[in-house]
Amino acid sequence: MKPTTRPRVALLQTLWDLDPDVNLDRTMALLDTVEAAELVVLPEFFLGPPFYFPGRAHLKGVIDQTVPGPVFERLAAQARRIGAYVLCGTVVERDGDRYYNTAVLLDDHGEIVVKARKTHRFAAEMVSVSPSDEFAIVDTPFGRLGVCVCSDFWIPEVPRMLALRGAEIIAVPGAALRGNIQITRPCLQANSSFNVCYTLLASAVGGVTGERAGRQVSIEVAGHSTVAAPEELLASLDEEEAVLTARLDLEYLRSMREVDLSFRRSLYFCLHGRRPELYGGLQQPYAGHEDLETLLSDYLTRR
């Protein structure tokens, strides 16, 4: 791939079926429609709701994947066909006796560039998958790319750390919960403004209902895949199954990060105006802190 400062991105918004094979076929069909892009982003759980979602326990050992593995061989063929980097949403990665919520980045030759494992587990993940302690950031021919796996994005320190390490594009393979959908786009816009970056959310649409610890539980995700620039939303979907495309402008972004002493532009201040010596408190827990993992473990097992 030739270097470019004007990359075209394609975000896949998929509809969940309860059958992982159907979901993979739908993903491949959407990829078949992508003809020109530098970066393609799939949503979190593009194979469908994982085995630790309610009513899905029977899929343990079926929906989880090894990396590398057959699913990524199929996706690698698409990466080569398109000539694009493909951020393969997430799968539940099986690694020995551990599980991770993992996004896999393939380059335009179909080779694995990096695995981005979720660092901040959400809800049942706290008792089902292991966390990573590493942030994923890579240099590509179309700029420096950082990855936030869904709930990682909602811990502001994560995209902040990526931006401070030079990430110009922050990709978020996600499953946007319906209960948060009214704030999803504003938060994506705010992240792009505060961190002077592009933010790409690729989300799924669908839901599951099942029993968990004797209770009926429903989980719904509602799409709203979005491409956000520092000063505007470039493109967005609602809940349709579709491919969202946009053209990024890295020269514009880099100019926004440069100090403008005339203050005609001011977003650079979000990066250059910081006083890190004052932020030691970020290493302390929230003043009202309770041990979330203990609380969730008790709730998920108590009948």
The per-residue pLDDT of the chain, averaged, comes to 96
Q: How many CA atoms lie within 13 A of 218 on its CB side?
A: 6
Q: Which long-range contacts (CB under 8 A, 24 or more apart) does 56-63 make?
A: 56/208, 56/210, 59/20, 62/20, 63/20, 63/91, 63/92
Are the beta carbons of 237 and 223 closer than 8 angstroms? yes
Contact present, 135 and 119 (Cβ < 8 Å) = yes
Of the candidates 266, 199, 195, 264, the residue with the CA atom closest to the CA atom of residue 233 = 199
Q: In sequence order, what are the residues at sequence separation of 6 or more whose Cβ sits closer than 8 angstroms to the Cβ of residue 121?
A: 101, 129, 131, 151
* Mean pLDDT along residues 16-34: 97
Task: Say if residue 238's pLDDT is above 90.
Answer: yes
Give Cα separations from 116 to 93, 106, 125, 148, 269 (angstroms): 11, 11, 16, 8, 29
- Give the residue carrying structure tokens 């990396």: 67
Residue pair 73/80 in contact (Cβ under 8 Å)? The answer is no
Cβ contacts of residue 71 below 8 Å, gap of 6+? 24, 47, 65, 88, 91
Whether the pLDDT of residue 303 is over 80: the answer is no
pLDDT of 119: 98
**pLDDT, tens only, 73-112:** 999 999 999 999 999 999 999 999 999 999 999 999 999 9
Q: What is the pLDDT of residue 242?
A: 98
Going by C-alpha positions, the residue among 165, 164, 166, 237 that lies closest to residue 200 is: 237
Question: What pLDDT digit, counting tens, does each position of 157-200 carry?
Answer: 999 999 999 999 999 999 999 999 999 999 999 999 999 999 99
**pTM assigned to the model:** 0.96
Cβ atoms 182, 213 nearer than 8 A: no
Tens digit of each residue's pLDDT (9 = 90 or more) over 240-269: 999 999 999 999 999 999 999 988 999 999
CA torsion sign, 240 to 86 to 21 to 202? negative
φ, ψ of residue 125 in degrees (nearest 5):
-60, -25
The DSSP bridge pattern shows strands 242-247 and 8-13 to be antiparallel
